Structure 1
Amino acid sequence: MVAPAEPLPTELSPKARRTRASLVDAATEVFAKQQYLGTNVADIVSRAGVSHGTFYTYFDSKEDIFREVGLEMQRRFLAVRDEVPGPDEATLLERVEATNRSYLCVYQKNADLFAVIEQGATFNEELRKIRLEIRNGFVDRSEQAIARFQREGLVYDDLDARYVANALGSMVDRFAYVWLVLGEEFELEEAVRTLTLLWARALGVEAPPGTMPRKRKRRKRS
């Protein structure tokens, strides 16, 4: 499995770090708008307001900076996951709910870019690796958490944690894709509720009917 990206080299000066970050920000906007195949280095440097020489100081190619764009997205997923309440602050069910909510919210905010990554991964080996890196960063943490829950006797222990993390992670990930990229009509709160209950019941977390009641939608006045 591919490890998350390493931090920037410490020898970069603050100015160099800002320049590199501005290139990544510009690339993120251009890729989201023009798709992967429709983007070239000239588009990125024009959006960032720097020269080609500056671009090649930090990145080797369009593929290289796209990988960084993808890994930056991975960092966003992991950052919000780090904000999930700990065991002393919330029940296991509440923590599963918070994790699913954070994933869907980040996906929702970056749906255009995620569409580019998803599509590119089907025909480009480098983009496929980038897609896996984004996914693995999230699934790896789920695997570690599930294994810990199993050791503590909180969830079923007759399933392999790695397989469970991949299966349930794929469920959430594909749901987000169908909703936010393909355009199926879903609503955030009901999506979070449904995915959380499926996670909980698959793992053996106590979540009987009525545990997470549906929120009734207010009827619009005519």
Structure 2
Amino acid sequence: MDDKRERTRQQLVSAAIDVFHDNGFQNTRVSDIVARAGLAQGTFYLHFKSKENIFNHICSEFKTMFLSLLDRSAADMFAGDCLETVRSSLNAFNRELIALFAANYKMAQLLFVEGRSYGGTFAQLFESIYSAFIEKIVAHLAIGREKGHIAFDDAETEAAFLIGLFDSSLFYFLRIRNQIDIDALSARMTDFMLGGLSKRD
């Protein structure tokens, strides 16, 4: 794809993210997207088949970024030889995850809020990102338990609680409070997670 075509495509994607965020998926028309992008309606169809197609593209892009972060950063979460090393690694992961959501909040909202409201491909994307998160976190929780850093009865349940923690708290601060202190929130999340997973006598 040449540079001009790619710039036009990204212009449409950026406009679509804004319009979907402002209007919601159901209330958005292709004409709204091209108007926001300052492009002719015919240009849209050179890049995307429909508003569903561009919505799916946006959600897939965020999913790719999210899973890439998990693959890159989650592996060391509980692999340290002492609890302080685990705390540092977990805090670094939390910080990266929060920063990803903060930098791409509108994209994240489309997937986690709008995406979960519709069936078909959108529901599959939403479910796949949750399932991938849980699968990867379960594996890393098992490492932490083997090393004696944490304790729990059911790794899948703990992982589901963790993604719920991320999901709810991030959208509270980003959507309702409209502000977020990444360092403070990541440190608090780390303390909360380690407290909930701490070894019990």
- TM-score of the pair, normalised by structure 2: 0.72
Match of 2:64 among 75, 78, 86: 75
C-alpha deviation, 1:30, in angstroms: 3.3
User: Amino acid of the residue matched to residue 146 of structure 1?
Assistant: L
CA distance in 1, matches of 2:194, 2:19: 39
C-alpha distance in structure 1 between counterparts of 2:67 and 2:46, whole Å = 28
SS at match of 1:36: coil
> Quick one: percent identity of the two aligned structures?
22
After the TM superposition, which residues 143-222 of structure 1 pair with which residues of structure 2 at under 5 Å, given as runs? 143-156=138-151, 158-183=152-177, 187-204=181-198
Could you tell me which of 93, 110, 115 is aligned with 2:87?
93
Partner of 2:127: 132
Structure 2: which 5+ residue stretches go unaligned? none
The 5 Å alignment of 1:91-130 reads 91-121=85-115, 123-126=117-120, 127-130=122-125
User: Following the alignment from structure 1 to structure 2, what is the Cα–Cα distance between the partners of residues 72 and 188?
Assistant: 22
Compute the displacement of 1:83 (Å).
4.6
Using the TM superposition, give the Cα deviation of residue 119 of structure 1 relative to its aligned residue in structure 2, in angstroms.
4.1
Kindly provide the CA deviation profile for residues 16-70 of structure 1, in whole angstroms up to 9, marking residues without a partner as x. 9937953544433432344323322233455284764x65566443223212211
TM-score with structure 1 setting the length: 0.66
Alignment RMSD (CA, Å): 3.6
Deviation at 1:85, TM superposition (A): 8.1
Deviation at 1:185, TM superposition (A): 6.4
Q: How many pairs are equivalent?
A: 191
Q: Secondary structure at the match of 2:176?
A: coil
| Cα distance, 1:168 vs structure 2 | 1.4
1:41 aligned onto 2:30: yes
Gapped regions of structure 1 (runs ≥ 5): 1-13, 206-222
Distance 1:94 1:29, change over 3 A: same
Q: Tell me, what secondary structure is at the counterpart of 2:97?
A: helix
**Distance verdict in 2 for CA 1:182–1:66, change over 3 Å:** same
Deviation of 1:175 (Å): 0.6
Give, in whole Å, the separation in 2 of the partners of 1:60 and 1:151.
50
Question: Does structure 2 conserve the Cα–Cα contact (< 8 Å) formed by 1:36 and 1:120?
Answer: yes
